[in-house]
Structure 1
């Protein structure tokens, strides 16, 4: 039976190849549980009818998903879901503990440590910039796969107060919170969803223009001086924000939503 018009999905005419769009739709359906491991996907004929594309386009999309380990085609039986994107499950938004031992869930490696040269920017409304910063870059991994790319501006004074040997071993947040001599008084952070650049995509093993969660975290003194700026890029396939909202605090509700209409 032909699909009704309201059951069909129209792909966008924005220059993105149809097979890329179709693969993204099916990948999302697998990710959000529409299709679970062991489920059989619709037939080639059904996918052609639903999305209004050619059989070759459907085969190309399915081939990409099979290459990612998400599906497997079995001759005479159909195409079955065999995995989920990201594979490792959701990671709570909390990276404030010392990196676990080798082989466990989360770890990091230091990529660069050198005098800062304008890699990051601190605007006047974000705080008072220190005279000099040290630039650091780290890549965090989940079960051996890249998960977060972090860039940091640490004030030269803070860097020298803590000592050069400590920084490669500890999480920046731990150092900021535990070193009382730094004078940490407040932490502010912003969140944005952005499209990845080619370099970011390569570092995090994703496709160029895939979405990332960008977190800019400012560690400040009581006077608003920025001791450290941490700019973190999270892959979106394993981040879950779980927030309890106090219904008695309407201002907080609006703040979390971003705008009242949401």
Structure 2
């Protein structure tokens, strides 16, 4: 039996089939935009600087011109790039400068950070029951489902889905629909909060989230999940919030500031801290 030779192609090199299968789940223009967004974050191009040309990006990523244009248009919609006819595409903002939302890592900071937030209510839609993982408490008898957008000015940055124990919601329905539900809950003197746990994961925007937050499909998001249980171990609050990935930062102090070396003639060690007034 005579075996035929593998067929060869001319022009651009063929992409690895395994890589192609994995990448096919995400549109190519989103993949290109993701790489360019990371380069902006890493400082490859500074504000005011011209980025690579369409031809260069087309060759580098082995994609069609229309794919590169779609990626550029997405970053333009995010306020990161600006195309000038006959001149090229320039950086107008950096990703890091847009990360104004610092996620809290303790209860007091969390409540203080959202105390003045005004939710923009959305129709509840299909509520279902909240997902409660082992160790997060036992479910309440019934829940009230609340959906809302969080905005900074006119720009949405967070999409909240909250399941609140129905008996608690009925105590202050107007408050829970006009203020951040977690803040109202924290201010209730007759409710003893035994535990509040928050988990942060990295996700991507689905069709609904992308539309509500004004970002591209599969754009990066920060997914915050908060579960609050009362003294009886009931999960009275289960909140899922999707934040735009381009506005979120998480800062954690791992160690204290290094104490300065003692000056000559000092009789003992100096502790790090604010300088004393003389």
Encode CA deviations 1:175-232: one digit per residue, 9 max, x unaligned. Answer: 2222121121211122222332211221111222223222221111233211211221
**Please, what TM-score do these two structures have when normalized by structure 2?**
0.70
2:189 corresponding residue in structure 1: 180
For the pair 1:238 / 2:247, whether they are aligned, the reply is: yes
For the 8 Å contact 2:37–2:95, the answer to whether it is kept is: yes
For the pair 1:156 / 2:166, whether they are aligned, the reply is: yes
2:160 and 2:46 mapped to 1: Cα distance? Answer: 33
For the 8 Å contact 2:119–2:179, the answer to whether it is kept is: no
State the SS of the aligned residue for 1:122. Answer: coil
2:65 and 2:118 mapped to 1: Cα distance? Answer: 43
State the SS of the aligned residue for 2:159. Answer: strand
How many residue pairs align between the two structures? 231
State the SS of the aligned residue for 1:131. Answer: coil
Residues 235 and 84 of structure 1: CA distance in aligned 2, closer, same or farther (over 3 Å): same
State the SS of the aligned residue for 2:140. Answer: coil
For the pair 1:43 / 2:58, whether they are aligned, the reply is: no
For the 8 Å contact 1:22–1:58, the answer to whether it is kept is: yes
For the pair 1:31 / 2:41, whether they are aligned, the reply is: yes
For the pair 1:111 / 2:122, whether they are aligned, the reply is: yes
Residues 33 and 132 of structure 1: CA distance in aligned 2, closer, same or farther (over 3 Å): same
Shift of 1:80: 1.5
2:179 and 2:70 mapped to 1: Cα distance? Answer: 45
Could you tell me which runs of 5 or more consecutive residues in structure 1 were left unpaired when the two chains were aligned: 1-9, 101-105, 248-262
2:217 corresponding residue in structure 1: 208
Q: Once superposed, what is the RMSD of the aligned Cα atoms?
A: 3.1
1:236 and 1:39 mapped to 2: Cα distance? Answer: 24
1:121 and 1:179 mapped to 2: Cα distance? Answer: 24
Shift of 1:92: 1.2
Shift of 1:123: 3.8
1:259 corresponding residue in structure 2: none
Shift of 1:91: 0.9
**Please, what TM-score do these two structures have when normalized by structure 1?**
0.73
Residues 180 and 44 of structure 1: CA distance in aligned 2, closer, same or farther (over 3 Å): same
1:203 and 1:84 mapped to 2: Cα distance? Answer: 23
Shift of 1:54: 5.0
